[in-house]
Amino acid sequence: MKTTDTNTPRVLVADDQADVLEALRLLLKGEGYRIETVTSPAAVLEAVGARDFDLLLIDLNYTRDTTSGHEGLDLLTRLQQLDATLPVVVMTAWGSVELAVEAMRRGARDFIQKPWENARLLTVLRTQIELGRALRKGEQLEAENQLLRDGVKPPILLATSASMQPVLQLIESVGPSEANVLITGENGTGKEVVAQTLHALSPRAAKPMITVNVGALSEGTFESELFGHVKGAFTDAKTDRVGRFELADGGTLFLDEIANVPLAQQAKLLRVVETGEFERVGSSKTRRVDVRILSATNADLKEEIAANRFRQDLLFRLNTVEIHLPPLRERPEDIPLLARYFLNQHARRYRKPFNGFSADALAVLARYAWPGNVRELSHMVERAMLLAKGTMIEARDLNLQAGREPVRGLEEMNLDEVEAYLIRKTLARFDGNVNQAAEALGLSRSALYRRLQRYGL
Ligand SMILES: Nc1ncnc2c1ncn2[C@@H]1O[C@H](COP(=O)(O)OP(=O)(O)OP(=O)(O)O)[C@@H](O)[C@H]1O
Ligand SMILES: [Mg+2]
């Protein structure tokens, strides 16, 4: 191995602001880096194509008056396609947590918020350069492969609470059967995880489980999606197409958001669920498949039936067994376990070592109402992990999150509290962007500022 100056790390810095580039150049030169600077995404791609770098430090915004970060995010995606082993650290404006999270999802190894702290920036760069070098030498290949393998494992259904025990028992007993199962529960309670678990426990596990979000299908596409079509059946039908029922033959079909199937299509669905028989659109040939049907909804189908929006005979075919998932707020005992599981998962994905949650943080998690249930918990842990300074998640890391509100109904607040609540929510929704929040709230910018002061926000 060459030793001379190949050990001097080469860093490419991209930002459209000259003062930022100058500050970084001074800082990094002083630390013995070789640094090159560019001012546009195009120049980044050109430089990466021409020379080897140990690390890229890139800004997400390049047109002065935009803060959307789209240019930076697109650049990230391109860089990932070119060379996924090249470490990229992104710079974001202070407070734009959503953007930082999105960048990490697209392959950034870490992020720095502007204005940055020199010490943190240097630590991040050093760590990522070392990791990147190891990765490229193949030292970490095994670990990476492990990561990939873990990534494709089906999700695990975690539950320790008393109210989840009947659910687990039901899953174990009906999983291996041929029974059609209707899974109900609020958004994010784990309905899809249950469907995957049922399929995995069944003799059909070696065959695919095909998922269709039937609620998202329009009247026009419903039949063709589910049953397929033959060439020429309608204007856009340029070739034959196999529908989801055929794809799932021998396996499991998971019909998600079942309550949203238009009434007019429910009869067609009923027939195939009852008999396994259907025709491709434009064909008169009857086909037959062997599928087990799992379905899910967050609606109350009894109510839908009473309102004549859902067919009772269809429900009877779908809910041979019904599994209801309680909302997370009714099973707070599950929160620490789930939180640790998500922390492990996200920490591994982002290659950040973490030890867990402080007692205060766990207490905050336990008190919250979780309107978005387990999915919200997962997102919150991901963000907290990205924001945390140390290797423990502290209560303050959770405080910054959108949607974190005490368990208290609006009707228990006075008007000022409701107003403050709404403002906090809206600001969080727009990542602290006062202009956008003011517009959404129907206030002028200065009126919003006055209220921010009044409520000490
Ligand atoms: N008990 C659990 N153990 C582990 N992970 C879980 C559990 N429940 C939910 N999750 C995770 O939480 C997220 C949301 O779960 P899922 O998609 O199954 O919810 P859902 O009920 O289908 O939501 P929606 O109604 O919005 O479609 C997923 O990432 C899932 O892996
Ligand atoms: Mg779902």
Confidence band of 64 (pLDDT split at 50, 70, 90): low
Ligand 1 contacts (CB < 6 A) are 155-159, 185, 187-193, 298, 338, 374-375, 378
Q: Which CATH superfamily is domain 408-457 in?
A: Homeodomain-like (1.10.10.60)
pLDDT at position 456 over 90: no
| Protein residue with least CA distance to atom 10, ligand 1 | 190
* pLDDT value at residue 409: 62
| Protein residue with least CA distance to atom 26, ligand 1 | 187
Atom of ligand 1 nearest to the CA of 298: 25
Per residue, the 3-state secondary structure of the chain, as one string, reads: CCCCHHHCCEEEEECCCHHHHHHHHHHHHHCCCEEEEECCHHHHHHHHHHCCCCEEEEECCCCCCCCCCHHHHHHHHHHHHHCCCCCEEEEEECCCHHHHHHHHHCCCCEEEEECCCHHHHHHHHHHHHHHHHHHHHCCCHHHHHHHHHHHHCCCCCCCCCHHHHHHHHHHHHHCCCCCCEEEECCCCCCHHHHHHHHHHHCCCCCCCEEEEEHHHCCHHHHHHHHHEECCCCCCCCCCCEECHHHHCCCCEEEEECHHHCCHHHHHHHHHHHHHCEEECECCCCEEECCCEEEEEECCCHHHHHHCCCCCHHHHHHHCCEEEECCCHHHCHHHHHHHHHHHHHHHHHHCCCCCCEECHHHHHHHHHCCCCCHHHHHHHHHHHHHHHCCCCEECHHHHHCCCCCCCCCCHHHCCHHHHHHHHHHHHHHHCCCCHHHHHHHHCCCHHHHHHHHHHCCC
Domain with CATH 1.10.10.60 in the chain: 408-457
Atom of ligand 1 nearest to the CA of 195: 18
Is pLDDT larger for residue 146 or for residue 191? Answer: 191
* pLDDT value at residue 155: 62
**Stretch 388-394: mean pLDDT, rounded?**
86
Confidence band of 21 (pLDDT split at 50, 70, 90): very high
* pLDDT value at residue 427: 85
* pLDDT value at residue 344: 86
| Protein residue with least CA distance to atom 18, ligand 1 | 190
| Ligand 1 pocket, mutate which of 375, 376, 379 (most atoms under 8 A from CB) | 375
Atom of ligand 1 nearest to the CA of 186: 25
From ligand 1's centre to the CA of 426, what distance in Å?
26
Atom of ligand 1 nearest to the CA of 159: 1
Domain made up of 162-326: CATH architecture? 3-Layer(aba) Sandwich (3.40)
Q: What is the pTM of this model?
A: 0.66
**Stretch 238-250: mean pLDDT, rounded?**
88
pLDDT at position 429 over 90: no
* pLDDT value at residue 67: 65
- Ligand showing the shortest atom-to-Cα distance for residue 297: 1
From ligand 2's centre to the CA of 103, what distance in Å?
24
pLDDT at position 146 over 50: no
pLDDT tens, position by position, 365-382 = 988 889 899 999 998 998
pLDDT at position 405 over 60: no
**Stretch 192-201: mean pLDDT, rounded?**
94
Confidence band of 412 (pLDDT split at 50, 70, 90): low
| Protein residue with least CA distance to atom 15, ligand 1 | 190
**Stretch 187-214: mean pLDDT, rounded?**
92
**The domain 5-148: what is its CATH number?**
3.40.50.2300
* pLDDT value at residue 135: 67
| Protein residue with least CA distance to atom 9, ligand 1 | 190
